């Protein structure tokens, strides 16, 4: 199969897993930073960039940084509400996003869990979109589901490559 088509399908299958879980459960198991994570997993498959430690660790750092800074600087405010130009609420949200992203970047570098899509996760949390501890736990759990689905998909592809010709005979 063409790598472009394979990567496209792999990305879609990974996101379909969390989308179905979100649909069936009603929980926030489909959020913007999963798209880039699914694409990275599909594109680089078995590289260091897709190690579970980096993907899950990066998002976990993003969630923790986002929750801490949001509740310190911008609790009760969400980017979904319009703020007045030059308002203190707008400043608090902006500062929350910037500081959380800095902490996430530094935390990922410090722990060697670099996963750039986690910077989107920290913005989702620090801007008040998914900013409760329970929602943060769902984010991390969803990333774990995404990584497990990726590992299962790779294992299936390996089995198919190894035994495919024998099964066709």
DSSP one-letter code for 85: T
Q: Report CA torsion sign: 60, 65, 71, 75.
A: negative
Dihedral class, residue 69 (left if φ above 0, else alpha if ψ from -120 to 50, else beta): alpha
pLDDT recorded at residue 83: 83
Quick one: tokens of 88? Answer: 């203190």
How many Cα atoms within 13 Å fall on the side-chain side of residue 147? 18
Say which DSSP state 61 is in.
H
Q: What is the mean pLDDT of each run of 10 residues along the chain (169 residues)?
A: 84 95 91 95 88 97 98 94 89 97 98 97 97 96 96 81 59
**Looking at residue 42, what is its pLDDT?**
93
| Dist. CA 146–CA 140, nearest whole Å | 10
Q: What is the pLDDT of residue 45?
A: 82
Residues 139 and 125: beta-carbon distance below 8 Å: yes
The pTM of the whole model exceeds 0.95: no
pLDDT at residue 167 in the model: 53
Q: How far is CA 108 from CA 17, 58, 151, in A?
A: 26, 6, 22
What's the length of the chain? 169
């Amino acid at each position: 199969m063409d790598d472009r088509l394979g990567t496209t399908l792999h990305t879609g299958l990974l996101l379909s897993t969390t989308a179905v879980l979100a649909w069936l459960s009603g929980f926030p198991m489909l959020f913007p930073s999963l798209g880039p994570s699914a694409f990275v997993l599909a594109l680089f498959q078995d590289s260091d960039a897709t190690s579970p430690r980096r993907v899950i660790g990066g998002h976990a750092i993003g969630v923790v940084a986002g929750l801490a800074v949001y509740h310190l600087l911008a609790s009760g405010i969400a980017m979904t509400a319009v703020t007045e130009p030059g308002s203190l609420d707008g400043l608090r949200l902006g500062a929350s996003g910037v500081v959380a992203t800095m902490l996430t970047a530094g935390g990922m570098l410090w722990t060697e869990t670099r996963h750039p899509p986690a910077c989107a996760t920290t913005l989702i949390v620090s801007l008040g979109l998914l900013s409760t501890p329970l929602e943060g736990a769902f984010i991390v759990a969803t990333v774990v589901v995404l990584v497990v689905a990726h590992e299962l998909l790779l294992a299936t592809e390996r089995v198919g490559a190894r035994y495919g010709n024998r099964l066709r005979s």
